[in-house]
Amino acid sequence: MSGVRVRFAPSPTGPLHIGGARSALFNWLFARKNGGTFILRIEDTDLERSSRESEENILRALRWLGLDWDEGVDVGGPHGPYRQTERLEIYRRYAAQLEQAGLAYPCYCTEEELAREREEFLSRGEMPRYGGRCRRLSPEERRRLEEEGRRPALRFAVTPGETILVRDLVRGPVPFDSTGIGDFIIMKSDGIPTYNFAVVVDDYLMGVTHVIRAEEHLSNTPRQVLLYRALGWPVPEFAHISLILGEDRAKMSKRHGATSIDQYREMGYLPEAVVNFLALLGWSPGGEQEIFTVEELVREFSLERVSKSPAVFDLNKLNWLNAHYIRHSPLERVTELALPFLQRAGLVAGEVTPEQFRWLVRLMGVVREYLTTLAEAVEHARVFFAAEVEPEDEEAREVLAWEEAGRVLAVLAEKVKGAESLDDEAAVAAVLKKLPKEAGLAPRRAYLPVRVALTGRTQGPELHLVISLLGKEKVISRLQRALAWREGHAKAN
In angstroms, give the least distance from the CB of 196 to ligand GLU.
9
Residue 160's nearest CA partner among 134, 186, 179 is: 179
Residues that bind ligand GLU (CB under 6 A): 9-11, 43, 199, 213, 217
Cβ neighbours of 355 (radius 10 Å): 8
Calculate the dihedral angle through the C-alpha atoms of 260, 266, 272, 275, rounding to the nearest 10 degrees: 0
From the CB of 199, what's the least distance to ligand GLU, in Å? 5
Contact 41, 82 (CB under 8 A): yes
* Active centre residues (catalytic): 254
Q: How many CB atoms lie within 10 A of CB 327?
A: 13
Cβ(52)–Cβ(58) below 8 Å: no
Smallest distance from the beta carbon of 39 to ligand GLU, in angstroms? Answer: 11
Smallest gap, in angstroms, from Cβ of residue 303 to ligand GLU?
15
Output 260 or 468, the one with its CB closest to ligand GLU: 260
* Residue 457: φ, ψ to 5°: -120, 165
Q: Which residues contact 23 (CB under 8 A, 6 or more apart)?
A: 8, 212, 213, 214, 241
CB of 136 to ligand GLU, least distance (A): 32
- Asked if residue 300 lies in contact with residue 285, where contact means CB atoms within 8 angstroms, the answer is yes
* 3-state secondary structure (DSSP) of residue 406: helix
Query: For residues 105 and 238, which CB has a smaller minimum distance to ligand GLU in the complex?
Result: 238
Determine the Cα–Cα distance for residues 142 and 144; give it in Å rounded to an integer.
5
Of 212 and 338, CB closest to ligand GLU:
212
Q: Which of 27, 43, 42, 39 is nearest to 78 (CA)?
A: 39
| Residue of 290, 310, 380 whose CA lies nearest to 338 | 380
* 3-state SS assignment for residue 106: strand
In this structure, the dihedral spanned by the alpha carbons of residues 217, 219, 223 and 224, taken in order and rounded to 10 degrees, is 30
Nearer to ligand GLU, 199 or 378 (CB): 199
Closest approach, Cβ 217 to ligand GLU, in A, equals: 5
Closer residue to ligand GLU in complex, CB, 43/183: 43
Asked if 38 and 228 touch (Cβ cutoff 8 Å), the reply is no
Residue type, 244: I
Antiparallel, parallel or unpaired: β 163-168 and 172-177: antiparallel
Closest CB to ligand GLU among residues 214, 375: 214
Please give the angle made by the CA atoms of 423, 427 and 431, to the nearest 5 degrees: 120
- Give how far the C-alpha of residue 114 lies from the chain's centroid of Cα atoms, to the nearest Å: 39
- For ligand GLU, the closer of residues 229 and 437 by Cβ is 229
Q: Which is nearer to ligand GLU, 39 or 463 (CB)?
A: 39
8 Å CB contact between 323 and 316: no
- Using alpha carbons, select from 337, 330, 331, 392 the residue that is nearest to residue 364: 331
Q: How many CB atoms are closer than 10 A to CB 453?
A: 27
Q: How near is the Cβ of 179 to ligand GLU at its closest, in Å?
A: 24
Report in angstroms how near the CB of residue 46 gets to ligand GLU at its nearest. 9
From 143, 112, 116, 141, select the one nearest 128 (Cα to Cα). 116
Q: Which is nearer to ligand GLU, 199 or 225 (CB)?
A: 199
Instruction: Report the C-alpha gap between 33 and 27 in whole angstroms.
Output: 10
What is the rounded CA–CA span in Å between residue 456 and residue 282?
A: 47
In whole angstroms, the minimum distance from the beta carbon of 213 to ligand GLU comes to 4
Asked if omega into 271 is within 30° of 0 (cis), the reply is: no
